[in-house]
A = this chain, B = another copy of it.
């Protein structure tokens, strides 16, 4: 079908398209894929030939509908495998990403759907990211950054924007757990430090950087 490399390009384009604008720059792809720019140009030409992307010289790329389908399929695989690793094999949420990067490329729609069923049709992965359904529909999250909250506001911790193992470990250690309630007790004017009340009345103080990486839902 498609090579792992192509699939990784598609996933990267998809994520950059979501995060930033509609077209994705060669340099942005080179950075996230950890290759040099000419390799990207080269690959984009091949992928345009396969109608996975529309590529305009020096203008950037966009996914075609076909390309988007493949990208979302891989994200679905990735997130379902992460659930499997955490729920069934006992991995921690900071350990599963690299394994899922491999597992996401196993080609079988049927396997994906059977895995989905086995896991009880989860709505989100261990990091709170939504899992696309079998038709490639990805529910749009309405979670918002904790850094947009004011004193007294509260919500439920439902996701992160920083997926690094170090950040996830910090959260574990500090007492954050997905699904728990969080209330803003105070925000320091000087440096935007947040004082939070976690589940069980536990109070913690976190930096703006942390508040800016936590997603809360009402």
Residues of chain A at the chain B interface (Cβ within 8 Å): 85, 88-91, 99, 102-103, 106-108, 111, 114-115, 118
Question: What would 13 A/B residue contacts be, using CB atoms closer than 8 Å?
Answer: A85-B111, A89-B111, A89-B114, A89-B115, A89-B118, A90-B114, A91-B114, A99-B106, A99-B111, A102-B106, A102-B107, A102-B108, A103-B106
- The smallest C-beta distance from A139 to any residue of chain B, in angstroms, reads 25
Measured between beta carbons, the chain B residues less than 8 angstroms from A90 are 114
Residue of B nearest to A4 (CB): B4
Expressed in whole angstroms, the Cα–Cα distance for A99 and B143 within the complex equals: 37
Residues of B within 8 A of A108 (CB): 99, 102
Report the Cα distance A196→B85, complex, angstroms: 44
- Pick the residue among B85, B103, B106, B118 that contacts A88 (CB under 8 A): B118
Residues from chain B with Cβ under 8 Å of A106 in the complex:
99, 102-103
Q: Across the two chains, which residue of chain B brings its CB closest to A113?
A: B89
Provide the residues of chain B in CB contact with A88, threshold 8 Å: 118
Residue on B nearest A85 in the bound complex, by CB: B111
Q: How far does the Cβ of A109 sit from chain B's closest Cβ, in whole Å?
A: 12
Expressed in whole angstroms, the minimum distance between the Cβ of A88 and any Cβ of chain B is: 6
Chain B residue nearest in CB terms to A91: B114
**Quick one: closest B residue to A90, CB to CB?**
B114
Q: With A and B bound together, what is the CA distance between A103 and B106 in angstroms?
A: 7
What's the nearest-Cβ distance from chain B to residue A127, in Å?
19
A112 to chain B, nearest CB (A): 11
Query: How many angstroms between the C-alpha atoms of A193 and B91 in the bound complex?
Result: 53
Minimum CB–CB distance for A194 against chain B, Å: 36
Task: Name the distance in Å between A115's Cβ and chain B's nearest Cβ.
Answer: 7
Q: Which residues on the B side are within 8 Å of A111 (C-beta)? A: 85, 89, 99
In the bound complex, residues from chain B placing their C-beta under 8 Å from that of A91 are: 114
What 4 A-B pairs are tightest by C-beta distance, nearest first? A89-B114, A102-B106, A89-B118, A99-B108
Residues of chain B contacted by A102 (CB below 8 angstroms): 106-108
Question: In the bound complex, how far is the Cα of B88 from the Cα of A118, in angstroms?
Answer: 7
Q: Report the bound CA distance from A48 to B131 in whole Å.
A: 44
